[in-house]
Amino acid sequence: MKAQAIKWIKTWEFGLAVLLVLEILVLGAINPTFLNLENLLYSTSDFTHILLAALPLTLIIITAGIDISGVSIMGLASITLGLTWVAGVNIFIALFIALGVGILAGMFNGAFVASTDVNPLVITLGSLFMFAGIAMGLPGLLDALGFKAYGAAGFAAYMYEGISGLPHNFNQIAHGGIGWVPYPLLIVLIFAAFLGIILHKTRFGRYLYLIGVNADAARYSNVPVKSTLVTVYALSGLGAALAGVVLTSYFTSARSDLGKEALLTIITVVVLGGADIYGGKGTIVGTLLAGFFIGFLRQGLLAMGVTSDVVPVVVGGLLVVVVALKLFITTYNQRRLNQQALRISEERR
């Protein structure tokens, strides 16, 4: 029992949880209003989109892949939602169409990754551009294809300033809540629970680890590698689209460039959460905790009077430091383990 507890304390996730609590306490000491639970919960709405994208990305990184196109899918989903609505479709149907577009975009990435040996970074780099470009060009394209926007002078009118005036109940998605729990946080928690079950309790989740640790052995073990990859990238597309929808509601405006700046933060969250860029390691809880940590960190920095320009410097620095630190710990542990084994086998002799 005690050994179990020690093992648990030694986990990365536990360390993160401690770090998160410390962070909240420190920020609270600087500014007591921070400790107000309602404030704290509602302030998460500033960064739920990061988590919505980072959570499924964790699954991809476990397969030793990566998807950097999510930030473009956010904008694509947002503009799809807005344009569909302007075309006269009910906003909630438009919402599902936007999510569908996100899934399709993810499947495109997944199919490309699964059917070639090209580095996923390069593939999603290409699609990062392509999706962002499509999101930008979509209004004009719809006009050119002869679709009719309702009320306005064509879809192109929304190209730069976005689509605002969305229905009130849609805007409630980001601004409403149940009691003290805002809807976006609820969406994050439900999505995290869903992904957590998928990752840790289903054979699909197991396949992700198997592929990430040894894709060849997975193939030799008859793991359906291709369909698993397509599915996991589709999930990432879904997460990014969800983030796009929540952001749209948060800003009460659908824009094609929403979420553009989030890439660095998203990847930092996943890596800080314990996922290994070389595959095979990572948990949903870790990413969730890391997401809150970085989200609050950003707010704390801003509250302390640091300008928002400094934030990417801190986040970028954090990313590098965390990875370097993890590498160091691994090497150190390995060396210690070897010394231990040496002692034991020499004694036995």
Partner 1 sequence: MAKPVTPPPGRSSQSPNETPLVELKNIWKVFAGVPVLKGINLNLMPGEIHALLGGNGSGKSTTMKILSGLYVPERGEIFLGGEQKVFHSPNEAHKNGIYMVPQEPHIFPHLSVEENLLLGLDMDPRAARAQVKQLAKEIGFESSFSEEAGALSIANQQLLEIIRGLLRKAQILILDEPTSALTFREVENLFKRMRTLSQRGIGIFFISHRLNEVMTISHRISVLREGRIVLAEPTTEVNSEKLVRAMLPADAEMRDMKRKMRDSHDQITDEVVLAVKKLSSDAFQDVSFEVRAGEVVGLAGLVGAGRTEVAEAVVGLDPNARGDVIIKGKDTKKHDSRKSQSLGLVYVPEDRHAHGIFLELPSLYTMTATILDRLGRFLLSRKQEEAVGNDYRQQLSIKMSSLHQIAKTLSGGNQQKVVLAKALASKPDVIILDEPTRGVDASARQDVYHLIEQLAGQGVGILLISSELEEIVDLSDRILVMYQGRIIKETERTGASLQQVMAAAFGLQGEASL
Partner 2 sequence: MSRIWRSRELLVFLLLIVLLLAVGLINPNFWRTRSLMHILNSSLILILVSIGEMFVILTRGIDVSVGAILGLSAVILGVALNAGVALPLAVLLALIVSVLAGMVNAVGVTFLRVPPIIMTLGTLGVYRGLMLIITGGSWIETIPTNIKFFANWHVLGVRFFIWVTLVIVILTTFLLRRFKKARYLYAVGDNEEGARLMDIPVKKTLFAAYTLAGLFAGIAAIIFVAQIGFVPMQAGNGQELRAIAADVLGGVNLAGGVGTPLSALVGAIFLTAVDSALVFLKVPGYWNNAVGGAILLAAVYLDYRVRMAVAAQQRQARAAVRKENNHLNPSTSEEQT
Work out the angle between the directed axes of helices 183-201 and 168-175 (0-180°, nearest 10). 70
Using the structure block, give the residue that is written with the tokens 């946080």.
185
- Residues 74-95, buried b or exposed e (16+ Cβ, 10 A)? bbbbbbbbbbbbbeebebeebb
Question: Which residues have CB under 8 Å from 76's CB, separation 6+?
Answer: 101, 102, 105, 131, 132, 134, 135, 138, 241, 244, 256
Residues 275-304 that bind partner 1 (CB under 8 A): 280-281
Contact call for residue 201 and partner 1 (CB under 8 A):
yes
Interacting positions 130-189 with partner 1 (CB under 8 A): none
Q: Is 223 in the site for partner 1 (CB under 8 A)?
A: yes
Residue 71 or 192: the one with the smaller Cβ distance to partner 2 is 71
Q: Which stretch binds partner 1 (CB under 8 A): 122-130, 176-184, 216-224, 312-320?
A: 216-224
47 vs 251: CA distance, rounded Å: 13
Which residues share a beta bridge with 253?
Answer: 164
- Applying CB under 8 A, the site for partner 1 has a residue count of 31
Q: How far is the CB of 128 from partner 2 (least distance, A)?
A: 7
By beta-carbon proximity to partner 2, the closer residue of 36 and 330 is 330
Cβ atoms of 57 and 39 closer than 8 Å: no
β-bridge partners, 163: 254
Q: Select 82 or 273, whichever has its Cβ closest to partner 1.
A: 273
The answer to whether 39 contacts partner 1 (rule: CB under 8 A) is: no
Q: Tokens 């536990």 label which residue?
A: 14
C-beta of 26 vs 344, nearer to partner 1: 344
CA distance 208 to 126: 24
Class of residue 27 by CB neighbours under 10 A (exposed 0-12, middle 13-18, buried 19+)? buried
> Which span (99-107, 177-185, 202-210, 291-299) binds partner 1, by CB under 8 A?
202-210
Residue 7 CB contacts under 8 Å (≥ 6 apart), including other chains: none
Using rule CB under 8 A, residue 341 touches partner 1: yes
Binder among 90, 115, 169, 202 for partner 1 (CB under 8 A): 202
For residue 203, the partner it binds in partner 1, partner 2, none, with Cβ less than 5 to 8 A by kind, is partner 1
218 binds partner 1 (CB under 8 A): yes
190 contact, one of partner 2, partner 1, none, CB 5-8 Å limit per kind: none
Measured in degrees and rounded to the nearest 5, phi and psi for residue 283 equal -135, 160
In the numeric block, the tokens 């084994």 are attached to 341
- The H-or-E segment that residue 163 falls in is strand 163-164
Q: From the centroid of its chain, how far is CA 217?
A: 28
Q: Is 214 in the site for partner 1 (CB under 8 A)?
A: yes
Please report, as ranges, the residues that interact with partner 2 according to CB under 8 A: 66, 112, 116-119, 121-123, 125-134, 136-137, 140, 159, 263-264, 267-268, 271, 277-278, 307, 309-320, 323-324, 327
Number of Cα atoms under 13 Å in the Cβ half of residue 326? 17
User: Pattern of binders to partner 1 over 103-132, x per CB under 8 A?
Assistant: ------------------------------
Considering only 222, 305, 307, 308, the residue that binds partner 1 (CB under 8 A) is 222
Query: Residue 255 interacts with partner 1 (CB under 8 A)?
Result: no
The binding site for partner 1 (CB under 8 A) comprises: 197, 201-203, 206-207, 209-210, 213-214, 216-224, 280-281, 334, 337-342, 345-346, 349
